[in-house]
Every structure is written in C-alpha cells, then in structure tokens.
Structure 1
Amino acid sequence: MSLLNSRRFSLGSRGLALCGAVLLATACASTSPTADTRAAAAAPTGAPVKVKVFVAAMFEIGQNTGDRAGEFQHWYERYWKGATPVAVPGALQPVYCNADGVCGAVLGMGKVNSSSSMQAILLNPKFDFSQAYYVISGVAGTPPQRGTIGEVNWATWLVDYDLGHRWAPEENKPGEPTFMPRKGYEEYRRFKLNPDLVGWAMKLSADTPLKDAESARKYRLRYPDAAARRAPFVGTGTHMTGDTFFHGPGMSKQAQYIAKLYGADDYVITEMEAAAITLVIKRTHGTDRVMSLRGAVNFDQGHPKESTLQHLDPAPGETAGGFAETVENIALVGTRVVDHIVKNWPTWSVGVPKP
C-alpha cells in the first residue's frame, strides 16, 4: 500500500488504468545525463560502489525529473541528477548512485515486484552493500483514528497482512475476528526494526517543516477523528504490508488486530512492499540498518457519510488531495537522515550509534 489504493485516490480513480499503463511502460524512465560530473563519476567503472545509503521507491509517474513527481523524483533531484543509470538484470529499473555512496532505484509496486528487484540489486557485483543503510520510501494509507493526510511516518514494526487464514464474516460468530495466523510464517510475518535507528530518525527529522494543501485541509474536515484533522506531522508506528487493497472500518480493525496479535505497535500505515523488501535484506545483511518511511495520501476508510465502495471509487473532486505535498514531505524528512549518515560515515559505518 505504498499502496495502490493510496495511489488510486491520489492519482484519481478514473485515471488509474491510464496511470497503470504509464507505470508499466515508462515507470521511472531515465532522463538524459547532464553536466553534473560529480554524480556521473559515481557510475561503476571497476570496483563495486560502496553503498552507504540505498533509497528504494516503488513507482515514478513519468520522468525522474521535470514533470509531476511520484515517489522517486524528489530523491532523484536531490542526489542523482546527471548520474549514469546502472542497469541491473532482474531489477525493474536501473540504479543511480552519487559520489557520496547514496544510491537508489524504483523497485516496482507490490511484494513480489519490489522484493525481486531488491534481490537482484543486492546480489549484483557492481555494488557493495556490506555496510549499507536502507530507506524504503513511498506513499501509503492511514486509519483516520491514528493519522492524517500529508503525515510522514517511520516504521517501528513491519507486519505482513496477508500471511494467514481468512474467512467470510457471515461464516463467523458475530463480532469475532475473521483472521488466524498460519503456522510456519513466524520468521517472516513481522519485523521489529532497530529501535536505535528509529530513535535517530525521529531525532533528526521530527521537527521538519512539512508541506500541506488546501484540498487536504478541507478533506480532513469530513472526518470527526482528532487525528484525521491534524496538520501533517512526523510520527512512528507499525506499517502493514499487504497486496490486498483493504478498505473500510472492518478491514482497518482487522489490521490493528493483526498488529496487536503479533505484539507490534499500533497499526498506522498501510502499504504494499516494506515487509517483503526487508525479508530480502534480512537474508543477506540483516535488518539492523533498515528504515521504512511512508507518507499518507489517503485514509483507509471513508468518512461516516461515505460507504466503503464510494471511498474506493470517489467521484471527481472527491479525492483527498495533498499528493504532491506528501511526496515532497517524504523526501524532506528522509534526506535529513540520509545526509546525517553520510556526513558522519566514520561513525555510522560500524553500526547505529546510540541516540
């Protein structure tokens, strides 16, 4: 849920088919190199690139720069303008690196798409990930009881929403959960991210001035929840990874039930990739240096006067707004952490310092 249902609202539900075609055909199309020799010098020429921080986005709307920004564009413009794209067999899009060891790529939407790209990149001999930090970055949804449009959230836990047994509510006792964990998935259905790293992320970024939009401010007022009506902020909590685009108060309660069942923090973000990408990283380098950073562009349920189906397929002008501001907020928050790590690399290269 870097979240396609998030994207459904932010990009306009009736334009989803066109957007999907664009994403499949031209997602994160590379731009022509410029005279930025510092960035271009980072292209691998022999020895592998020593990656200090890898930024993973899931989609770009069009080009990497100069048009409407998706999840990758603000990162690209900050770190890789003019960098030579490095093609990686098995990855959806090329990798870009700068001379400071900051690399990034668009991995694709959904668990299989993104994790297969991450695996290909991690195993490619052009890169040395032995000391790398990871920022899994994208847009998401949030329950109105705990979040708001435009907020940016660092994950404390990653939980896989899909690994278990489910059945129809009418086949259940009224009011009881319709989900049961499946045995055998204990090692990869949840990940507790490094608390020290989360602490650093908040320490460095909690006071970041965030963008907001008038359309988002008006949209929030449709919800009675105090959290939903908040201005954008930087927070933490559990990120729920699911290929199922769940909607409505019932599914939201189930996500919270699963988070608590697994011993995680409150569910605050719904997305589509982070747990799967983290599993790939865990098998090669562990999870101590993994961060998940998401910006909320929609609520996971309609307001009290709106049905779930209306929320799924809003009429023109009824979407949340604030998409452009949110993708900028994500980069504003995330670059503070990336820049700090790179600037203080002698300390960070050996591990996460105590906050």
Structure 2
Amino acid sequence: MKYVFLALSLLVSVSTYGVEKKPIAVKVFIAGMFEIGANQGDKAGEFQHWFERYFTNSEPLIVKGALGPVFCNQDGVCGSVLGMGKVASSSSMQAIILNEQLDFTHSYFVISGVGGIPPSKGTIGDVNWGSWLIDYDLGHRWMPAEGKPGEPVFMPRQGYEDIRRYQLNSALVNWAVMLTQNVQLMDSPDAQAYRMRYPQTQARRKPAVTVGSHIAGDTFFHGPGLSAEAQYISQLYGADDYMIAEMEGVAIAQVLSRTVGIDRMLSLRGAVNFDQGNPNESTLAHLDPAPGETAGGFAETVENIVFVGANVVDTIVDKWPDFKNGFKTE
C-alpha cells in the first residue's frame, strides 16, 4: 500500500508539474518601451492602450531580467513594457525570449512606440510602419569644423555590417501597410495649430499611415543638421528614406535575429514630435520649449498606434492557421 501511495503521489506531481510548466504559445507579442504611470486609468504612454484592449483580465507573468511583467490573454496575445533605449529594451527582450514560460516558435512581434519625424516626410499623429531598422550610433563622428566644409561628418565603423541595419520582411510590412492604410486616425486642434508653424506640405497635412526607415540612437539627435545626417546614413546603407527617429528598434531586432529571427517582426511608430524646430526657432528652443509651446497630439498619437496595430494583431489571431507557419503572399 505504501508503494502504491508513493506511485500515485508521483503521478499527481508529474501531472501537476506538466500543467504548470507548459509554456504559453505566443501568437503575437506586443512591446511598448515606456509607460507614464499605471497600465490603465491614467495618462497613457506606449503600452496602456494595448493593455486596455488585450490584457485587462490577464495575470502578470514575472520574467527574471525583464523590466516588467509579461501579460498574456487567452488568444495567445502577449505584451510587455521593455524599457527605453537600446540597452534596456534589448535586455528585456532577450530575457523574455529565453524564458521557458513562453513559447515563441511561431510568434509575430509588434514593436510599438513613439518617435520623431522630419517635417519634410510627415506630421504629428502619423503612424509609420518600419521597413528598415537602422543604428544611428555605430560609426565614427567628428566636429564639422574638423572636416571639409559641406561634407558628412559620419563614417560607418567596420565590423558592424551585420548589426547596424536590418531590413524587415518586405512582404509582411507591405501587407501591414495595405491592411491599415485607410484607418481613420485621430487628430486635435492643438496638433493642427502646431503644424502650421512649419512651411513643409507634409508637416501641415492630416495624420496618415506611412512606411519608411526607423533610426535608433541612444542620443536624442535633433535639429536639421542631424536630421540630414540620419537621412544620409539611411541612404549610405541602401535603406528607404529616414522617417522615424527612435531609440530601440535595431537593438530589439538584433536580439530577435540571434534567437527566433526577424521574418515576423514589425516596427510600428507614431510621430509625436518633429525632429527639428520650425524656421523661426533654434534647435535648443525646440528641445526645451517655453510653457504652452510644446507640440500637441501625444494623446491622440498613442491611440492612433493601437488603432492601426490592432488591425494586424487581430487579423493574425483570427486567421492563425494561415499565419502560424509564416507569412506567405497570396
């Protein structure tokens, strides 16, 4: 009897252990970089609207090494706040990817956040799908006064060719753009008034869904000179036009490329500021505006990001048999 009881106890333990340890099969992972306060009920940062749409009934899953918990719903959608900057975001992403509680074998990734935009390319409230993710920092730089007048002051550093830029799956990106290009985006009187400070046609238009290169720098580069340098780097690397300045995308892409690959990775950014001042203000004045002089539209933009991105997330989940084994063009 003693041995029968022991055998039954072991059977129950193994059965319980198996249930508890079975990893969650993640269909879509949504990553925000920062949240302003709580995940709901206050001013929204990059993750709150995602949380309110998908995770209000989800229990937090603690992942050692990640900035915050991971939330997963019953449909296989998971998400987390990774942290701002290349180091914080990529270290969180790696901890999450390697955690045995989660199964990323078939997962899609939506890297979601805000950024700056050149006034010649877009406007506040735009939502942009990244076609290329580029590192702004990996290279050599020098003071303009120490170079030849009018020539670039940046040169790529050898040895970083495989990690300084990533082209995302063009078929998947193009599909996401086509699916979302007609989404009605929110706007505000404050953002509309702020746009009128800029003479560029693109800066003055209504928000739209666009596509282009996202350039990540730990330095918050700003002003017409550094904006032109970012465009130069994008061209130097054979990428699409620079559209969004941000701080994380290329680092997260490196983590994914080393683990599960980037074929199912999407980068989605909303423009909350111009990457330079208008012709009547200095770069420093634009970076440190007087009270009442800041750009409007942040609240609307973080909502716009989810309006756009949720179309992709929901379609992948609803048609999971078509997406599970990879994105295929019809």
For residues 16-35 of structure 1, the aligned pairs below 5 Å read: none
Q: Secondary structure at the match of 1:238?
A: strand
Equivalent residue in structure 1 for 2:217, among 232, 242, 262:
242
Task: Find the aligned partners of 1:189 and 1:286 in 2 and give their Cα distance.
Answer: 16
Query: What residue is the counterpart of 2:323 in the other structure?
Result: 348
Cα offset, 1:155, TM superposition: 0.4
Cα offset, 1:181, TM superposition: 0.1
Aligned residue pairs total: 312
For residues 171-182 of structure 1, the aligned pairs below 5 Å read: 171-182=146-157
Amino acid at match of 2:96: I
Query: What residue is the counterpart of 1:339 in the other structure?
Result: 314
Q: Which moved more, 1:196-205 or 1:122-131?
A: 196-205
Query: What residue is the counterpart of 2:131 in the other structure?
Result: 156
**TM-score, normalization: structure 1?**
0.87
- Greater Rg, structure 1 or structure 2? 2
Task: Find the aligned partners of 1:172 and 1:215 in 2 and give their Cα distance.
Answer: 41
Query: What residue is the counterpart of 1:225 in the other structure?
Result: 200
Q: Secondary structure at the match of 1:228?
A: helix
Query: What residue is the counterpart of 1:130 in the other structure?
Result: 105
Task: Find the aligned partners of 2:323 and 2:248 in 1 and give their Cα distance.
Answer: 26
Q: Which runs of 5+ in 2 are unaligned?
A: 1-18
**TM-score, normalization: structure 2?**
0.94
Cα offset, 1:204, TM superposition: 1.3
Equivalent residue in structure 1 for 2:247, among 269, 272, 277:
272
Q: Which runs of 5+ in 1 are unaligned?
A: 1-43
Partners of 2:57 and 2:73 within 8 A in 1: no
Matched, 1:76 2:64: no
Cα offset, 1:46, TM superposition: 2.7
**In percent, how many aligned pairs have the same letter?**
64
Query: What residue is the counterpart of 1:190 in the other structure?
Result: 165
Cα root mean square deviation, aligned: 0.8
Query: What residue is the counterpart of 2:190 in the other structure?
Result: 215
Q: Secondary structure at the match of 2:202?
A: coil
Amino acid at match of 1:331: V
Cα offset, 1:45, TM superposition: 3.5
Q: Secondary structure at the match of 1:294?
A: strand
Task: Find the aligned partners of 1:45 and 1:303 in 2 and give their Cα distance.
Answer: 57
Matched, 1:111 2:82: no
Query: What residue is the counterpart of 1:22 in the other structure?
Result: none
Cα offset, 1:200, TM superposition: 1.2
Matched, 1:312 2:264: no
Amino acid at match of 2:292: G
Matched, 1:330 2:305: yes
Task: Find the aligned partners of 1:81 and 1:146 in 2 and give their Cα distance.
Answer: 36
Amino acid at match of 2:199: P
Cα offset, 1:113, TM superposition: 0.3
Matched, 1:87 2:62: yes
Query: What residue is the counterpart of 1:204 in the other structure?
Result: 179
Structure 1 runs, 4 residues or longer, greater than 2 Å off? none
Q: Secondary structure at the match of 2:163?
A: coil
Cα offset, 1:203, TM superposition: 1.6
Amino acid at match of 2:157: R
Task: Find the aligned partners of 1:45 and 1:155 in 2 and give their Cα distance.
Answer: 37
